[in-house]
Chains A and B, each alone.
Chain A
Amino acid sequence: MIGPITSALTSSGLTNLVQSTSSSVATETVLKAIGRPGFILIDNDISPDTKKYAAAKEFLYQATCLVIYMALVVPVFKKGAFKYAKNHLFKDVPDAGFDKFKDLKTYALYRKLSEKTMEDRQHILNVNKLQDRFSPSIRTELLTKDDPEKFNKIKGSIELGSLIGSVLGLAILAPQVSHAFIHPALRFLGLEKPKEKPHT
């Protein structure tokens, strides 16, 4: 018997989120932006001013990470990985299925539709007139097969790109950008003293 907890745990929304590196990393960053400042604020060993300062700094850091990640890393690395895999990595591997998809968007739409039941797919394709977006072989795959081919190599290439982007963005780029942004922001919020000019 499938209970409510199992049904929530296997919902397609959660599954897609888990299987997508970018969505899961973004979710974790949001949780860090809540959890870490929260833990600083409940720490009784530090003074209220320090708590406020550290919590605000941590929140701003995680928010900067999220903005950088969503604005730069996700589109650049995902698209870049798709292009690189299509033109170089899997160029001589027709089984990978890259030649069946024009771009990343088309594959993402295909993948989303392939998760649905055949009746739903047929309905969505006909109602939204999406059939033109796919090549004939892909259209057949979606309209006639119970379990359409997933093209896991394409999915894996995109995820690898996201993974590399996440590492570079969150471990290298975000700390540098946040360093330039956080202190002025804290000064603006009145949590940090303005820089004193050196005496000459």
Chain B
Amino acid sequence: MGFQNFLRNVCSKLGENNKPTYAVVAIAAVKGICRPTFTMMDKTEKPETKKYTALREGLTEIIAIPVYLACGYLAGKCSPLITRKVTKDDFLTNQIKQDIANGVQSDKVQKAVQNAEKQLGKYKMRVTNNLRFVGVCAAALVAIPALCSLTIKPVMTKLLKTPKYEEKPETPQVQSTPAYNNSNIRKSFRLNAYQSRPQSGMKVGGV
């Protein structure tokens, strides 16, 4: 019964106001748990590759959750700036406005004023929610990819304690290094060496 009541309350709450951040944060949270778990369960990959990929997937979602919340919250906070000029008069008919100007205090006028106040509240809530959605979209389109590009590479390097890779101009390969000669291993080591396929610094895909 307890769980049923909980579900009923969730349904009521979602029906009244379905904030745009709910879905994206829920998806990011489950992705942050499941994707690294799936990666670690993959028996075909090398342990180093698995560790690297899982960590990167987890980090991407860890970055995404607060960014979604912050962008949604900040965008919603802009609502008073946009709606400051909107008053309850905007929801009154000209007839009612004239009645008010003439000092008429009938039930009809009072009812219209109450209705206008209700509509104004709803209007402001609408703007706030829609702005939150715009914020979440901006997070998905720009903020998260940009932040991932900036932070994931250095964080991964720090966590995995890998030496910084410096790009060198391509030189033609003359001879491959003999298997017994491992003196060049550290020099040619790079973060991407964990990858079996070419990758960019930002892990964005699901595979």
Q: Is B74 part of the contact surface with A, judged by Cβ < 8 Å?
A: no
Q: Is the CB of A24 within 8 A of B23?
A: yes
A118 CA / B68 CA spacing, docked (Å): 38
What is B's interface to A at a CB cutoff of 8 Å?
4, 7-8, 10-16, 18, 20, 22-24, 26-27, 30-31, 34-35, 38, 82-83, 85-86, 90, 115, 123, 126-127, 129-133, 136-137, 140-142, 145-146, 149, 167, 197-202, 204-207
**A2-B90, A54-B200, A93-B8 known; A28+B140 contact, CB < 8 A:** yes
Chain A residues within an 8 Å CB radius of B4: 89
Chain B min CB distance to A18 (Å) = 4
**A6-B127, A10-B123 known; A43+B200 contact, CB < 8 A:** yes
Q: Is the CB of A43 within 8 A of B140?
A: no
Q: Is the CB of A153 within 8 A of B145?
A: no
A84 CA / B177 CA spacing, docked (Å): 65
Q: Dominant SS at the B interface?
A: helix
Q: Is the CB of A156 within 8 A of B27?
A: no
Contacting residue for A35 out of B14, B23, B140, B200, CB 8 A: B140
Q: Is the CB of B207 within 8 A of A178?
A: yes
**A1-B86, A89-B8 known; A9+B27 contact, CB < 8 A:** no
CB nearest neighbor in B for A25: B23
Chain A residues within an 8 Å CB radius of B202: 36, 39-40, 43
Q: Is A57 part of the contact surface with B, judged by Cβ < 8 Å?
A: yes
A-B contact pairs, 15 of them (CB 8 A): A1-B90, A6-B82, A18-B20, A28-B136, A39-B149, A40-B200, A40-B204, A58-B204, A153-B15, A156-B16, A160-B7, A167-B26, A172-B30, A175-B38, A179-B207
Chain B residues within an 8 Å CB radius of A150: 15
**A46-B201, A153-B15, A163-B26 known; A6+B8 contact, CB < 8 A:** no
Q: List A residues 1-51 near B (Cβ within 8 Å).
A: 1-3, 5-6, 9-10, 14-15, 17-21, 24-25, 27-28, 31-32, 34-36, 38-40, 43, 45-46, 49-51
Chain B residues within an 8 Å CB radius of A27: 137
Contacting residue for A34 out of B12, B26, B141, B206, CB 8 A: B141
Chain A min CB distance to B158 (Å) = 17
A39 CA / B16 CA spacing, docked (Å): 37
Chain A min CB distance to B168 (Å) = 13
Besides the contacts A19-B18, A179-B207, what 16 more A-B pairs have beta carbons closer than 8 Å? A1-B85, A2-B86, A10-B123, A15-B126, A34-B141, A40-B204, A51-B200, A53-B198, A57-B205, A153-B12, A153-B15, A156-B10, A156-B14, A159-B11, A175-B207, A178-B206
Q: Is the CB of A6 within 8 A of B7?
A: no
**A10-B126, A43-B201 known; A167+B27 contact, CB < 8 A:** yes
